[in-house]
Amino acid sequence: MSNNYLHLDLVGHAGTETAPPEMDSLIVLTERTQVQRLGIPAVMLERIEKAFSGDKTVTFNVFGSRHTLLILVPDKGLETLRLAGASAYGLLRKHGVQALRIKGLHVLEKKERYAILEGMILNSYSFDKYKTEKDTDTVVAHLPARLFSQADLQELKILTEAISLTKTLVNEPPNSMNAVQFADVVQTIGRQYGFDTEILEKSEIEELGMGGLLAVNRGSVIPPTLSVMRYRPADALNKKPIVLVGKGVMFDTGGYSVKVGGNMISMKSDMAGGAAVLGLIAAIAGNELPYYVVGLVPATDNKIAAEALVVDDIIRMMDGTTVEVQNTDAEGRLILADALTYAKRFDPELVIDMATLTGASAAITGPYGIAVLGNDQQQIDVLKDIGEQVYERLLQLPLWKEFRELLKSGVADRSNLGGPVGGVSTSAIFLEHFTDYPWIHLDIAGAAFVKEAKGYRQKGATAVPVRLLYEFVKSRIKRR
């Protein structure tokens, strides 16, 4: 399921193949002094010198007996380098390059070198499963062993495979990825990457009293599932797990509060949070990080049928809270609330939920970032810093007490809808009621699925926030 068309190979040390002497080259220029040392044709020097005075990544194509592709990166910021890598991969595919050397990386620090590779691999993803003519050509990049380690490249490979898995799950059409099929994938990936899985089916969900998940599922002929994933290595540094909860609405019609005006298109992406949980645990387990994590994905369709949930219904959640349904399109919080209640049994050190939860969040951040709320400010601040590094940026919104008044109901303990004001905050406050532990909520509605390709993001699924939370877990390992 990786769908990545770039392969990395180390050369220059014992045990590896030597790159052929006649090979295409990609030269990364980050300093003026490199221009003279790398044997670039004189006709290009003036143009390159002028380009160094600009502030954008510039690419050049130099042709001889072989392709020599130049990419100029005046700024060594990590995101600039990722975008440079993405641009470089685009050039390679444009010119039909299948094998190449990468030069000029010796002037970069380790994290900068890997940022270029990351951008290249991320841009090499393609979802072509349903195309009759598939693009099967791969690009092999030969890297100097003195600048890279096999272990670090293997970690990058597994992480980007997990990111591609996440994208593919979200990109799958609704008739190929329902709640039961997602649970089957969870079990397959668990066996592949080395973590334990348990799938709770409808009868078990009923025994638990998960009224939110069951209510949303009433309009579907496909039963709901709750996928439970556990990765607890023998050398785990934490006794209490981080619990990751992902919204798994496999397709969202809005229910009887039906989505109109074309807003139902791309609602296969309403399970992007659940896909991200699976991808993240696959990356953590695949790279054998010494950290105990649990993943929970409540999954169902939100469809329309004679028995489907309607407005004015009152439902009882797993923890006993009664909820007046005022909008059947505010369904994500109902299934997440039951999963957050279920998370209590793990006595977690921290719970992070991720969901394409509100259009209000997408209106604020667009495709550029993630809304974050929660009750653990210290960990939110850590996530913000990491978000700037991996460029899955966070915008914190408030949990003001005034917003709580908007969720009051005259006939039940609370309403599932807060009204037109503070939609992101009221949705998070609804979720907060079901927590009694350190908790962070990520609303990824704007960034999880995009309409246009840009940089290393293809049109469609982006796998946000897998990279963010993977680095967050690594940061906790380093601190311990």
Report residue 74's pLDDT band, with 50, 70 and 90 as the boundaries: confident
Copy the structure tokens of residue 42: 């004189």
Could you give the CA distance from residue 31 to residue 169 in angstroms, rounded to a whole number? 41
Query: Residue 39: its pLDDT value, please?
Result: 67
Higher pLDDT residue, 297 or 96? 297
Q: Where in the chain is the domain with CATH 3.40.630.10?
A: 159-479
Report residue 70's pLDDT band, with 50, 70 and 90 as the boundaries: confident
For the ranges 57-61, 168-172, 384-388, 414-418, the lowest mean pLDDT is seen at 57-61
Residue 356 in this model has a pLDDT that exceeds 60: yes
For the ranges 134-138, 266-270, 408-412, 475-479, the lowest mean pLDDT is seen at 134-138
Report residue 41's pLDDT band, with 50, 70 and 90 as the boundaries: low
Query: Residue 2: its pLDDT value, please?
Result: 61
Contact between residue 415 and residue 408 where contact means Cβ atoms under 8 Å apart: yes
Query: Residue 439: its pLDDT value, please?
Result: 98
Higher pLDDT residue, 71 or 308? 308
Report residue 62's pLDDT band, with 50, 70 and 90 as the boundaries: confident
Query: Residue 169: its pLDDT value, please?
Result: 98
Residue 14 in this model has a pLDDT that exceeds 50: no
The rounded percent of the chain whose pLDDT value lies above 90 is 81
Three-state secondary-structure class, residue 393: strand
Query: Residue 18: its pLDDT value, please?
Result: 56
Exposed e or buried b per residue across 251-268, where buried means at least 16 C-beta atoms within 10 angstroms of its C-beta: bbbbbbbebeeeeeebbb
Residue 83 in this model has a pLDDT that exceeds 90: yes
Residue with tokens 């050398």: 235
Could you give the CA distance from residue 313 to residue 388 in angstroms, rounded to a whole number? 42
pLDDT tens profile 428-464:
999 999 999 999 999 999 999 999 999 999 999 999 9
Could you give the residue numbers annotated as active site? Answer: 259, 333
Report residue 36's pLDDT band, with 50, 70 and 90 as the boundaries: low
Could you give the CA distance from residue 226 to residue 213 in angstroms, rounded to a whole number? 9
Residue 21 in this model has a pLDDT that exceeds 60: no
In degrees, rounded to 5, the angle at the alpha carbon of residue 273 between the alpha carbons of residues 401 and 451 is: 105
Contact between residue 397 and residue 424 where contact means Cβ atoms under 8 Å apart: yes
CA distance to 159, 371, 393, 471, per residue, from 368 (Å): 22, 10, 7, 19
Report residue 20's pLDDT band, with 50, 70 and 90 as the boundaries: low
Q: Where in the chain is the domain with CATH 3.40.220.10?
A: 6-146
The pTM assigned to this predicted structure is 0.95
Residue 15 in this model has a pLDDT that exceeds 60: no
Residue 392 in this model has a pLDDT that exceeds 80: yes
What is the DSSP-derived secondary structure letter of residue 405?
A: G
Report residue 69's pLDDT band, with 50, 70 and 90 as the boundaries: confident
CATH class of 6-146: alpha beta
Cα pseudo-dihedral 198, 204, 210, 215, rounded to 10: 110
Superfamily (CATH H level) for 159-479:
Zn peptidases (3.40.630.10)
Residue 404 in this model has a pLDDT that exceeds 90: yes
How does the average pLDDT of the chain come out, rounded? 93
| Cβ partners under 8 Å of residue 442, min gap 6 | 273, 352, 353, 354, 355, 370, 371, 372, 394, 465
Residue with tokens 């993240």: 280
